[in-house]
Structure 1
Amino acid sequence: MPDKTTLRRLGALSRAELTLLVRNRSALFGALLMPLLMVGFLLTLGDTLGLGDGNLSVAAVIGTSAIGMVLLMAVYSTLIPAYVGRREERVLKRLRTGEATDAEILTGTAVPAVLLALIQCAVLIGVGSAHPSLSAPARPDLLIVGVVLGMLMMVLMAIVTSAFTRTVESAQITALPLFLIAMMTSGMITQLDTLPDAMADIFRIMPFTPVMDLVRAGWLDAGGGDVTRALLLAIAWTALAGYAVRRWFRWDPRQ
């Protein structure tokens, strides 16, 4: 367990990051409203996209996809410019000269975005559970594991992506590859059981797919070996992202 000194340092770093996030209207908009706008997009075009063509209802697909939208936008896309901005302004380098450890510095930067995302996920689950086509999560334990692993993975992926991002403005471009891959392969805009078997098998081992599989299993009560495989894959991708952070993250400005 972290000691009181560690928690105090994390609290101070997190409060500073929250202040910066609140002052940055574009970042706050992306974290709070963009996931809801994307959910509205899916609601509008659900039939056109064929969201209900597989084993799940349109409401089930959109409800679980909303969780994925929060992870991708409120966590991943929000944190990349945060890490890049702190690096280019030499904030990270100055913090390293103090008492805070590297892990505390990186975690403190992520805490506000993660807390906002957790609140959004709780609201989405509460609202979705009241929908006539859905119900309360059947396996809350799996749902919590999926959300927590997804947030940890997205934080680590954001840190890795920031290493290859030169400016805050270019963060929107460098975030696109993982964002699009996650959207296309994780069942957020098309159910995997409607795809050819070979394509579906490839999509199921992509980074974000096991996270969404755990979310769907927790909310909609999927089961068996698929859940075990999704859990192992999510842990493996998260561990790989952690290794990539240690290998490639830059503390010094790129400019």
Structure 2
Amino acid sequence: MSTPTTTAPGRTLAWPAYARGQFLLSWRVFWRNRRSTFIGFLLPVLLNLVIAAPLRDQQIAGVNAAAYSTVGFIGFALVTSFINLLNGVVARRDDLVLKRLRGTEVPPTAIFAGQFGAAGAVVLLQVLVLGGLSVIWFDAPLPADPLLFLLTLTGGFLLFAVLAVALSGLTPSAEAAPMIATPVLLICMFASGVVAPLSSMPHWLQAPAHNLPMAPVVETLRTAWFGRGFGPESWNGAPLPALDLLHAWQHAAPALLIIAAWTAGAAVLGRRLFRWEPRHG
């Protein structure tokens, strides 16, 4: 009876060290893999330069269109993080790394905390790069509500991180991961308002698009950055009115609830689908 009482507190006290070890391992693997570095770090930045730069002299909803697009690509960085997490989880499962870790004293929460932490650090670097571009090159203001911005970014990151773990259970192998990741990437990029307002889509698609995982994240990031009620904007529409902090949070509340609902659903799905061992063999 003495072993559980001494071991459990020891594991609890060692949890930060376990999580740190998983963080450092995931961090090194990410930057050493050219494919993950390109998709997970460079792709949102390069796409933003190609798409946003020609919009510098245009306005949308009362803000610079290039800055509007850049904040959208900050949201898109969460999707590329999802792709790398999905690939990483599946690859570690197929290489039996997760199975071996599960047989050690490393708590499962520390395994995923370290991997999520490394992915989150990459996202923060992208935010600094894309945010710097928006402010310095596109003359965007600094975020009007940094707290709402960080809350939305954190909630969106957790949503896509948990979704990556859940969908890893449907991915038979690392080679098959692009078949799962690519549709998510395309839907989030072209049907979630990352590049253009959702009002530019066919009318019958607009309501479903507003409830996809990425759309509320992008809308609320823009609301927090520019202090305006984004969501109903259009290319040729009038400028959106400025919001004070209270009304910005009121406007963002429905989108934050959608993000929370998607995260809860992904967590339930993950508990049912996630595997520590390869699906076959």
Fold agreement, TM-score > 0.5: yes
Match of 2:242 in 1: none
Per mean C-alpha deviation after superposition, the further-off stretch among 53-62 and 135-144 is 53-62
Residue correspondence of structure 1 range 158-197 to structure 2 within 5 A: 158-195=164-201
Contact 2:169-2:275 at 8 Å conserved across structures:
yes
1:70 aligned onto 2:77: yes
Match of 1:21 in 2: 30
Contact 1:159-1:249 at 8 Å conserved across structures:
yes
Match of 1:142 in 2: 148
Q: Aligned partners of 1:196 and 1:161: how far apart in 2?
A: 29
Q: Alignment partner for residue 34 of structure 1, among 36, 43, 54?
A: 43
Q: Aligned partners of 1:149 and 1:182: how far apart in 2?
A: 16
Q: Aligned partners of 1:140 and 1:204: how far apart in 2?
A: 23
Per mean C-alpha deviation after superposition, the further-off stretch among 219-228 and 234-243 is 219-228
The one-character-per-residue Cα deviations of 1:116-145 (angstroms, maximum 9, x if unpaired) are 111211232233122454110011111101
Output the amino acid matched with 1:85: A
RMSD: 2.3
1:243 aligned onto 2:268: yes
Match of 1:58 in 2: 65
Distance 1:226 1:181, change over 3 A: farther
Instruction: Report the CA distance between 1:159 and its aligned residue.
Output: 1.0
Match of 1:130 in 2: 136
1:205 aligned onto 2:211: yes
Q: Alignment partner for residue 107 of structure 2, among 82, 101, 110?
A: 101
Output the amino acid matched with 1:236: A
The normalised TM-score by structure 2 is 0.81
Match of 2:160 in 1: 154
Instruction: Report the CA distance between 1:242 and its aligned residue.
Output: 1.1
Q: Aligned partners of 2:60 and 2:138: how far apart in 1?
A: 19
Q: Aligned partners of 2:225 and 2:69: how far apart in 1?
A: 12
Match of 2:235 in 1: none
Q: Aligned partners of 1:45 and 1:254: how far apart in 2?
A: 46
Q: Aligned partners of 2:210 and 2:251: how far apart in 1?
A: 10
Per mean C-alpha deviation after superposition, the further-off stretch among 4-13 and 97-106 is 97-106
Per mean C-alpha deviation after superposition, the further-off stretch among 88-97 and 182-191 is 182-191
The normalised TM-score by structure 1 is 0.89
Q: Aligned partners of 2:270 and 2:20: how far apart in 1?
A: 23
- Percent identity of paired positions between Structure 1 and Structure 2: 29
Per mean C-alpha deviation after superposition, the further-off stretch among 85-94 and 124-133 is 124-133
